[in-house]
Structure 1
Amino acid sequence: MSDRAEFLIDLSALSTNIARLKKECGVDVLAVVKADAYGHGLIRVSHAALKAGASWLGVALLEEAITLRENGVEAPILAWLVSPGSDFDSAITHNIDIGVSSIKGLREISESAKRAGKKARIHIEVDTGMSRGGFLDEWKDLPTEDFSQVDVIGIFSHFARADEPGEQQNIDQIQRFQQMVQELGDIGINPPIKHLANSAATMKDSPSYFTMVRVGIAMYGLTPDLTHLGTSKDLGLRPVGQLRAKLHLVKSVPAHSPVGYGASAMTQSDTKLGVVAIGYADGIPRIAQGAGVFFKGKKAPIIGRVSMDQFVVDLGSDSTAQSGDWVIVFGDGSHGEYTADDWGRASSSINYEIVTRIGPRVPRIYQSHEY
C-alpha cells in the first residue's frame, strides 16, 4: 500500500468483462495490453486476461511483447507497431507475431528470419480507410515480394469510426477489408486469422468479427465512446480501476483567498480546502477543471491549477475530512464518485488518456487473489 496514492485494480471485473465479450462475439479474443495494459499493469493484467478466456495478447511495441515472454507468457502475442530497423531477430527468437505494413519492413523481417533459420510469424496490416497504418500504395507491389521466409498468420486493419455505429465508413471498411483478403488469397496467401473489430465494433458490429476481435478499452470496463455508445453502465461493463489518493493537508481558508499557481481561482466563501497528494507528474491532467475527488458521499471539485505533485479541492465548509484521509479520484461511479469519463470531459479528452497516463509513481494494487 502506498502512503500517497494508488491505483486499485479489480481483476475479477476484468475477467467478467472479457468472458462476457467473448461469449457475445463467439470468436477468439485478442486482449489489447499495450501501454502497460492501458495503465493497469502489463504483467498481471495479461495473465488475468488469458485466464479469463482471451486467446491472444496484443501490444504496440516489440519491447512490450518481449517483456511478456520474459514473464512467462506463452500465448500468442502480436506486436503491431514494429518499425523498420527494429530488433526483428529478438521477435523471431521469442516467437512474437509481427505486424507488417511496408515492403521495407517485410524485407527486413525476411532477412532476420533467414539468419535465424526460422520463419517469422507476421500479420499483414492493410489500410482500409483510416489513412494511418497499413499497406496502401505499396499494396499493388506486394505480389512481387518473397514470402518464403515468413508465415503469414494474419491480416488486419483498424476502424476509424467504429464508435459511431451505422456510419457508412464502417461498412466501406468492412467491404475493403474483404476485398484485400481476397486479393491476398489470389496470390496464394490465405492467413488463418483475420481481425478488424476493436472494442466498439465487438459490441456493436457483428459483421466485422471475422475470426478474431481485438478488445482494448472495453475489457477495462470503460466505454469506447461516451457520446455515441453511452457510459460503462449503459454497456454493461465493470470499470476495473479505481484511483485514490491521500489528503496531504486539510485547512480552513477565508472567502476570497487565491488558490494555486497564477492565482487562477478564488474561494467564493469561507471553506475547507484539501491538498490531494497527486499531480500532473502522476498523470492528473494539468488543464482539468470540473472534476475532483469524492469523500464520504460528497464530491469536492478542483479549485485552481493542478500542480506537478498535488492539486487542491474545495471540500466545503462543513466537511469532516482531515489531513491524511483517503479520497477517490475516480472510480466506477456507483457511489456517486467521479469516473474516468468525468475526468476525460474535464480535460477536453477521453477516458483512454486518463487511465493510460497514470504514472509509475502510483503503485498498482491488485485486489483479486484469484490470479
Structure 2
Amino acid sequence: MTSTGSTRAEIVVDLGAIRHNVRRLRELVGPGVAMMTVVKADGYGHGMVEAARAARQGGADWLGVATLDEALDLRAAGDTGPVLCWLAVPGEDYALAVAAGIDVTAYTVEELDEIAACGPSARVQLKVDTGLSRGGAVRADWDDVFGHAARLEQAGRLDVTGIWSHFVASDEPDHPANDAQEAAFREAVALAEKMGMRPELRHLANSAAAVLRPSARFNLVRCGIASYGLDPAPGHTPDLGLVPAMTLRARLAMSKPISAGDGVSYGHTWVADRDTTVGLVPAGYADGIPRAASNIATVWSAGRLRPIRGRVCMDQFVIDLDGDLPPAGTEVVLFGPGDRGEPTAQDWADALDTITYEIVTRVGGRLVTTHVDEEQS
C-alpha cells in the first residue's frame, strides 16, 4: 500500500479486495444462487459507487440498498443492472425509481397502491416479517397483502418480482429462531404461489446465512458485511478466504516525552506510571473514531501495537509510544487487514463490545477516502 503522503488521516479502500470477496462468496454459495451485494450506507463506509462497481466486476448479479435515494444514486453513476431497495415511508416518490427499473419493496397494501400509481412498469418485491419484528408484513396481514399484490399484478399495474425476509440470528447457527424463520418463509412463498404469484426471486439469507445455512439460500443471497472482507459470524465460521477492504490510517502530528505522574487528555483518565513518550493522532470522534475507544483500543505505529491513552477527543487522540520518538508524519494504522500486525476492524469491535458493521460505517467526517486496487497493481 502506498504512503499516506501529505494526508492527515484517511480511509483506504482496496477495491480489488471487494472484487475478490464477491467472487469468493459466489464460489461458497455455489451454482444456481444469484448474488446480491449490499452497498447501502455508502457501501458500509467503503464508498457506495466504487464498491458497487467492484462488486459487479466480481460477479454480483444484484445490488442492494436501503433507500430510494441510494438506488437512484447508483443509476446516476451509471449502474444499469438489477437493484433492490427496501426502506421507505408514506408519501415517498417512487416514480423515479420505477422509471429507472429499480425493484422497490412493499410491506403493506398502502405501499402497493403508492407503487402501482407510478405506472405498469413497477417492479415490486414483497417483504414478510418472519420473526425479526422489524420491516415486513406480519403473518396476520399476509393474506391481505398477497391478495392485493396478486390483483394488481393481474390487472397489469405492477410486477411482483420477489418475496423476501431477514434473519434474526443467522450469526448464531444454533439459535432456534433460524429454523422457525426458514419455516415461516417457506410458508409465505407457498401462500404467494397459491394466490397466483410466481416471483422470480426468493431470498432470506444475509452474509452469515449464505455461508452457514445452505437450506436458506433459495435462489438469491444478500451479502453485505462479508463482501467487505469482514467475518459475518465471528466464532462460527471457518477461514472463508475473505480480505478486509478497509484500512484506516493517519500520520502522527507530533511525539514527545512525558513524565511519571503526567495525565493525558481530558479528565486525566490515564496517568503515566512511568516516564514514557506519547504521540498525537489527528483524528477523533468527529471523524467517527469511537469515544468509547478511550484507554481501550490499540493502533499500529513504528512497528508495534500502541495503546490509546486518555480520552478520544473530537479531533485527536493520544497513543503511548513507550519511550520511542518516531518523527511527525509517521504512519499510524488504526485498523486494517491485519497482515502487518495491525489491529483489524474485528479487534476494534471486540475491544468496544460492538460489531464490525458499526466500526466501518461510522468512520468518515473529515477523513479523506482513497480507493486503491491492490489486485490490479
TM-score by length of 2: 0.93
Task: Name 1:22's counterpart in structure 2.
Answer: 26
- Aligned residue pairs: how many? 363
**What CA distance in whole angstroms lies between the structure 2 residues aligned with 1:144 and 1:237?**
42
> Does 2:75 correspond to 1:69?
yes
Quick one: which of 281, 287, 306 aligns to 1:282? 287
Aligned partner of residue 235 in structure 1, secondary structure: coil
Q: Give 1:138 deviation, angstroms.
A: 2.0
The one-character-per-residue Cα deviations of 1:137-190 (angstroms, maximum 9, x if unpaired) are 321322442423110111110011110113322111111111100001111011
Q: Give 1:284 deviation, angstroms.
A: 0.5
Q: Give 1:112 deviation, angstroms.
A: 2.2
The one-character-per-residue Cα deviations of 1:279-332 (angstroms, maximum 9, x if unpaired) are 111110011142121013211111111111111111111x24121211101011
Task: Name 2:144's counterpart in structure 1.
Answer: 141
After TM superposition, the structure 1 = structure 2 runs for residues 31-180 of structure 1, keeping only pairs within 5 Å, are 31-113=37-119, 118-136=120-138, 137-145=140-148, 146-147=151-152, 148=155, 149-180=157-188
Aligned partner of residue 226 in structure 1, secondary structure: coil
Quick one: which of 195, 199, 222 aligns to 1:191? 199
TM-score by length of 1: 0.94
Q: Answer yes or no: is the 8 Å Cα contact 1:82–1:98 preserved in 2.
A: no
Task: Name 2:220's counterpart in structure 1.
Answer: 212
Aligned partner of residue 300 in structure 1, secondary structure: strand
Give the CA RMSD over aligned residues. Answer: 1.6
**What CA distance in whole angstroms lies between the structure 2 residues aligned with 1:360 and 1:59?**
21
**What CA distance in whole angstroms lies between the structure 2 residues aligned with 1:298 and 1:110?**
59
Task: Name 1:295's counterpart in structure 2.
Answer: 301
After TM superposition, the structure 1 = structure 2 runs for residues 324-363 of structure 1, keeping only pairs within 5 Å, are 324-363=329-368
Q: Which amino acid aligns with 2:229?
A: G
Q: Give 1:347 deviation, angstroms.
A: 2.1
**What CA distance in whole angstroms lies between the structure 2 residues aligned with 1:171 and 1:155?**
18
Aligned partner of residue 211 in structure 2, secondary structure: helix
The one-character-per-residue Cα deviations of 1:13-36 (angstroms, maximum 9, x if unpaired) are 111111111022121100000000
Task: Name 1:305's counterpart in structure 2.
Answer: 311
**What CA distance in whole angstroms lies between the structure 2 residues aligned with 1:142 and 1:21?**
33
Q: Give 1:346 deviation, angstroms.
A: 2.4
**What CA distance in whole angstroms lies between the structure 2 residues aligned with 1:277 and 1:263?**
19
Q: Answer yes or no: is the 8 Å Cα contact 1:154–1:193 preserved in 2.
A: yes
Aligned partner of residue 95 in structure 1, secondary structure: coil
**What CA distance in whole angstroms lies between the structure 2 residues aligned with 1:225 and 1:267?**
38
Unmatched 5+ residue regions in structure 2?
none
Task: Name 1:314's counterpart in structure 2.
Answer: 320
Instruction: Work out the percentage of aligned pairs sharing the same amino acid.
Output: 44
> Does 2:249 correspond to 1:247?
no
Q: Which amino acid aligns with 1:170?
A: N
Q: Answer yes or no: is the 8 Å Cα contact 1:95–1:121 preserved in 2.
A: yes
**What CA distance in whole angstroms lies between the structure 2 residues aligned with 1:310 and 1:338?**
19
Q: Answer yes or no: is the 8 Å Cα contact 2:250–2:281 preserved in 1.
A: yes
Q: Give 1:334 deviation, angstroms.
A: 1.8
**What CA distance in whole angstroms lies between the structure 2 residues aligned with 1:357 and 1:224?**
18
Task: Name 2:230's counterpart in structure 1.
Answer: 222
Unmatched 5+ residue regions in structure 1?
none
Aligned partner of residue 239 in structure 1, secondary structure: coil
Q: Give 1:335 deviation, angstroms.
A: 1.9
Q: Which amino acid aligns with 1:140?
A: D
